[in-house]
């Protein structure tokens, strides 16, 4: 477990692609190129398809979003000829394939970030989606206290970042977007070399937080020798990092924060545990019990870039490939915490 700078809940739904926030609150999604290596920060989402003949709250939400984008269409929950034409007009004006179908490329262009104080049809769209999710609020186009509370309740129930802002992850959850399947292990370079048996398993051999310096090695790819792990795990981590770099073009990263992402002395553990107790730090193990104290736990950068917890491409890759090299995610609430047990 690691120290974090904020105490946010982890978002649970991946957004549609590498994203940014555009002018006027629009959510801008950039399509990803197919060239390898792929970007570990890239995100993909399977958005629902809505087309002619559909009816219900999702259609009403769509119609309000179309209205917010300048299309004169009634928000009646029925995807008829007028809604289809409005979709075609929107697609034409935004350089999309004009087919009258709202799918994975049209949804992201329609979405707008809304928050407390906002008014208009985009807010009505969010309120409609929140009502469909069971929250009893008026669809009045005013993002006031009631809508804020409904948003917080929805985000909390979905393990989203509880910020009362309806952005990419919250929109994805409201629309029922789904994350893609985890990436598959590479077809080459996946063989595990196994542990360096010149070094004993530190757990049970040495006191926690007091592993001898000659049993600790710099984490491969890290920027300095301050980032240390059990030398026993180095061959497998090196092979895993090589496979990750082959797919994404960058190293697995442990030096995005301070050295406490890796080996921790008892004194280090005591500092983090005290921070946890006084409410200024994240969940931390009692001093002398953390697997960081044996050099077999690492807190890796998940490179979420807006993706949900356990939904980033880095996490998905590690979840599919890490066990091959003896690394597993052992703390369900922490996608960044990986331990080596061999």
Domain boundaries, the chain: 18-175, 213-340
- pLDDT score recorded for residue 241: 94
Tell me which of 48 and 24 has the higher pLDDT: 48
- pLDDT at site 338: 96
The pLDDT, as a whole number, for residue 154 is 87
Q: Provide the percentage of residues in the chain whose pLDDT is more than 70.
A: 81
**Higher pLDDT among residues 51 and 11, named by residue:** 51
CATH (residue range 18-175)? 1.10.101.10
Q: 107, 27 in Cβ contact below 8 A? A: no
Confidence of residue 44 (pLDDT cuts 50, 70, 90): low
Q: Residue 268: pLDDT above 60?
A: yes
Maximum mean pLDDT: which of 42-56, 253-267, 294-308: 253-267
Banded model confidence at residue 24, pLDDT cuts 50, 70, 90: very low
| Dihedral pair phi/psi, residue 205, rounded to 5° | -95, -40
pLDDT band (50, 70, 90) for residue 20: very low
> Token pair of 276, please?
């946890």
Q: Is the predicted pLDDT of residue 306 greater than 90, yes or no?
A: no
pLDDT at site 180 = 55
Query: 275 φ, ψ to 5°?
Result: -65, -40
What is the structure's pLDDT at 156?
Answer: 80
For the segment 231-259, the average pLDDT, to the nearest whole number, is: 92
- One fold for 18-175 and 213-340: no
31: pLDDT strictly greater than 80: no
CATH class of 213-340: alpha beta
Tokens 């005290």, located at residue: 274
Cite the DSSP H helix spans in the chain. Answer: 57-68, 81-93, 106-110, 121-132, 145-157, 168-175, 234-248, 266-277, 313-321
pTM of structure? 0.54
Higher-pLDDT residue of 227, 26: 227
What's the chain's average pLDDT? 83
């Amino acid at each position: 477990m690691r120290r974090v700078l904020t105490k946010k809940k982890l978002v649970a739904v991946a957004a549609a692609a590498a994203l940014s926030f555009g002018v006027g609150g629009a959510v801008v999604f950039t399509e990803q190129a197919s060239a390898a290596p792929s970007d570990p920060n890239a995100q993909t989402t399977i958005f629902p398809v809505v087309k002619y003949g559909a009816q219900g709250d999702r259609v009403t939400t769509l119609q309000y979003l179309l209205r917010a984008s300048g299309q004169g269409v009634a928000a009646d929950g029925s995807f008829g000829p007028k809604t289809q034409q409005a979709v075609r007009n929107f697609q034409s004006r935004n350089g999309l394939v004009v087919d009258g179908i709202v799918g994975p490329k049209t949804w992201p262009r329609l979405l707008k970030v809304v928050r407390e104080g906002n008014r208009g049809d985009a807010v009505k769209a969010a309120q409609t989606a929140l009502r469909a999710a069971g929250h009893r609020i008026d669809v009045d186009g005013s993002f006031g206290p009631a809508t804020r509370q409904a948003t917080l309740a929805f985000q909390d129930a979905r393990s989203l970042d509880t910020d009362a802002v309806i952005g990419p992850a919250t929109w994805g959850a409201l629309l029922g977007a789904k994350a893609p399947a985890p990436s598959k292990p590479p077809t080459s370079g996946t063989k595990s070399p196994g542990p360096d048996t010149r070094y004993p398993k530190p757990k049970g051999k040495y006191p926690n937080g007091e592993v001898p310096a000659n049993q600790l090695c710099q984490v491969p790819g890290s920027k300095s020798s301050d980032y240390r792990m059990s030398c026993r795990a180095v061959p497998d981590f090196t092979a895993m990092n090589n496979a990750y770099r082959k797919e994404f073009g960058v190293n697995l990263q442990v030096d995005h924060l301070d050295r406490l992402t890796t080996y921790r002395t008892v004194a280090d553990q005591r500092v983090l545990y005290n921070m946890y107790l006084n409410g200024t730090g994240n969940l931390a193990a009692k001093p002398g019990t953390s697997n960081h104290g044996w050099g077999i736990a690492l807190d890796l950068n998940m490179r979420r870039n807006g993706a949900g917890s356990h939904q980033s491409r880095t996490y998905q890759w590690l979840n599919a490939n890490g066990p091959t090299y003896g690394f597993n995610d052992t703390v369900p609430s922490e996608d960044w915490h990986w331990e080596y047990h061999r």
